[in-house]
Amino acid sequence: MALLHKFKISGGQVTYKSRFLGSDCYQANNEHSRIVVSEFGTVAMPDPCKNFFQRFLSRFEMPSESRPEPSDNDNVSFVTYKGDYYVSTETNFMHRIDPETLEAKEKVDWSKFIAVNGATAHPHNDPDGTTYNMGNSYTAKGATYNIIRVPPTKNSPEDTLEGATVLCSIPSVDKTKPSYYHSFAMSENYVVFIEQPIKMDLLKIVTGKMRGKGISDGVYWDPKRDTFFHLINKQTGKLSSVHYLTKALSTFHQINAFEQDGMLVMDMCASDDGQAINNYMVQNLRQSGEALDEVYNTMSRVFPRRFVLPLNVDHNTPIGKNLNTRPDSTATAIRISKEKVFCSYEELHDEELHKYGGLEFPQINYAKYNTHPYRYFYGCGFRHLVGDTLIKMDLKDKSMKVWEQPGLYPSEPIFVPSPDSTEEDDGVILSVVITPNKDKSTFLLVLDAKSFKELARADVPVNIPYGFHGTFNNTA
């Protein structure tokens, strides 16, 4: 269940507050003292108090429109729309949150505003507050991927997603098996949708309840398919006629994207294996000793990569020639046919990163450097099933700085710029660190972003579970 956390730093003191999200999902599960709403990896089992025949029939009970009701358990990320804070997951439901009390003010349904069946928990913001996101639509004609645009301001205090529009719709190549995506990339003028070969079998997902299977049973990896980068112009909503592709890869989080010298440079955390989601099945997390080592040793590794996409491709562009003219990049972009450009990546790290199991949960100085050329990014190293180090990467020479302590597991690093900062890494890194082998010893860690040295920690005398994504709200 979604558990919201808040650290407040004021006057040299740190206070902590947490609250379970009062979702319909939470209320129903709490009322029955068991899981009654299906989630991504968990199927709601029939009521054990029913007799055998009743339990059998309950598997075939379906909500309206013959599809499972999506969960409103918004446990992935805090996001902002029109200056308001929401918590979200990947269904069509979000909750608007009071950032002071962490109380849910209202449940908001994307499908009441635009024709989508959900949206990602990783929107992007333009400097003026305009927000972009992605969501799927499922109709009798098949699945489509939709680029969503939400205006920056509200017309009234009660305004939520009013004015949201679908900027562009992209049909799935396989109408009944669209690609799964967790996020997308955005430069100054383009949204980049990464269509990867992690596929969703819609028939399996819709029939999951009667088969006693969770949504994850309908998600699979198809390594024989290529990965496509779809470029959508943010001003016109037009999809580029050039098909940029690369070999099969999986990506959950992008680092940054920017345009320079006629190229779109796109950095992401990626793997050549799309099985990462299986690492977190309960049967794996319950392992210990050699069995846990085997799970870890067979995990797919995620590393930072750079792709360079040429923007000015026309009928005069030569075929078979590397179009990446950036002297500082080893990535390639080769036009292989009239409308296709095949791309290979440049590694954004050296061999040292392999010692830390790769890098995920990337963060940058978003406010000043998102969609612009940048030098630094931060993330978690994964030598275990969860992050066990904090890492600062320097793109200038691909060097890195590391914070680590045995037995401590930090969360996603949040960059907070210093007031009136002039340098990209002038600020601090915030991370929640858990200590599973010691009771009630969680703390908020503060690192100097430049040196990556510890500045302070604020101990929290409660147990906090390992989480996903957060944000910093500067109210000073």
User: Which run of H or E residues covers position 15?
Assistant: strand 13-20
Half-sphere exposure of 444 (CA within 13 A, CB side): 17
Domains of the chain by start residue, with CATH: 172-347 (no CATH), 349-476 (2.40.128)
Confidence of residue 59 (pLDDT cuts 50, 70, 90): very low
Kindly state the tokens that stand for 356: 């830390």
> Does the structure show a pLDDT above 60 at 51?
no
Q: What CA–CA distance (Å, rounded) separates 410 from 367?
A: 23
Nearest CA to 414 out of 441, 450, 371, 447 is that of 447
List the beta bridge partners of residue 169: 146
List the beta bridge partners of residue 381: 359, 389
**Cα 113 to chain center, whole Å?**
23
Three-state DSSP state, 38: coil
What tens digit of pLDDT does each residue of 271-325 get? 998 876 666 677 767 777 777 777 767 777 899 999 999 999 999 999 999 999 9
Q: What CA–CA distance (Å, rounded) separates 417 from 476?
A: 13
Give whole-number Cα distances, 270 to 13, 81, 267, 304, 361, in Å. Answer: 39, 28, 9, 6, 11
Long-range contacts of 444-452 (CB under 8 A, 24+ apart): 444/7, 444/14, 444/16, 445/390, 445/403, 445/410, 447/390, 447/403, 447/413, 449/376, 449/378, 449/392, 449/415, 449/425, 450/423, 450/425, 450/426, 451/401, 452/390, 452/392, 452/401, 452/402, 452/403
Q: Read off the pLDDT of each residue in 370-398 and give the average, rounded to a whole number.
A: 94
Residues in the chain: 476
pLDDT at 111: 93
Kindly state the tokens that stand for 45: 């089992």
Residues 6+ apart with CB under 8 A from 85: 78, 79, 96, 97, 98, 99, 473
What tens digit of pLDDT does each residue of 216-238 get? 778 888 999 999 999 999 999 99
Q: What CA–CA distance (Å, rounded) separates 219 from 201?
A: 6
Nearest CA to 184 out of 145, 217, 140, 144 is that of 145
pLDDT at 45: 59
Q: What is the DSSP letter of 66?
A: G
Q: What is the DSSP letter of 352?
A: G
Burial class of 254 by CB neighbour count within 10 A (0 to 12, 13 to 18, 19+): buried
Q: What CA–CA distance (Å, rounded) separates 474 from 159?
A: 23
Q: What CA–CA distance (Å, rounded) separates 2 from 23?
A: 9
| Mean pLDDT comparison of 68-77, 223-232, 432-441, highest-scoring range | 223-232
Q: What is the pTM of this model?
A: 0.90
Contact by Cβ (8 Å): 90, 77: no
What tens digit of pLDDT does each residue of 103-142 get? 999 999 999 999 998 899 999 999 999 999 999 998 878 8
> Does the structure show a pLDDT above 60 at 391?
yes
pLDDT at 325: 92
Give per-residue burial for 20-59: e unless 16+ CB within 10 Å, then b. Answer: ebbbebbeebeeeeeeebbbebebbebeeeeeeeeeeeeb
